[in-house]
């Protein structure tokens, strides 16, 4: 089951004001909000996050994501660098160009990046 995509949303614009990066799309549970129309690459990237959400029973993802970001800050990364060092993001960026990744993805694949 893929997430539900909501194109042309203002939510990424609003959340970018609080974020160290400019948010183009964001997965919040089973919903993906995109500033414009999400590309296939973006849809795959965010669908990977939905799989991660499900593995972490949604709440776990919402707790772990900021904790991994804070860990990155404590390791000396900038806000942007800490974002790119979040294991969830590492997995998604490494695999969002592979059209078969979601079909072949191993459960808990993001854990290899911890």
Spatial separation of the C-alpha atoms in residues 51 and 104, rounded to whole Å: 12
Q: What is the mean pLDDT of residues 12-34?
A: 97
Spatial separation of the C-alpha atoms in residues 112 and 72, rounded to whole Å: 16
Give the tens place of pLDDT for each residue, 58-113: 999 999 999 999 999 999 999 999 999 999 999 999 999 999 999 999 999 999 99
Spatial separation of the C-alpha atoms in residues 88 and 64, rounded to whole Å: 9
Calculate the average pLDDT of the chain.
97
Q: Where residue 1 falls among pLDDT bands split at 50, 70, 90? A: confident
Query: What's the whole-model pTM score?
Result: 0.96
Buried b (16+ CB within 10 A) or exposed e, 61-82: beebbeebbebbeeeebeeeeb
* Helix or strand holding residue 32 (H, E): strand 31-34
Per the CB < 8 A criterion, the answer to whether 88 and 55 are in contact is: no
Q: Where residue 2 falls among pLDDT bands split at 50, 70, 90? A: confident
């Amino acid at each position: 089951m893929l997430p539900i995509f909501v194109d042309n949303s203002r939510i990424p614009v609003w959340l970018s004001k609080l974020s160290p990066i400019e948010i183009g799309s964001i997965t919040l549970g089973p919903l993906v909000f995109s500033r414009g129309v999400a590309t296939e690459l973006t849809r795959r990237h965010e669908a990977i996050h939905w799989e991660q959400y499900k593995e972490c029973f949604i709440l776990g993802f919402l707790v772990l994501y900021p904790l991994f970001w804070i860990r990155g800050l404590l390791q000396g990364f900038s806000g942007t660098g800490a974002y790119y060092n979040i294991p969830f993001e590492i997995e998604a960026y490494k695999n969002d160009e592979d059209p078969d990744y979601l079909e072949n993805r191993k459960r808990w694949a993001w854990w290899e990046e911890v």
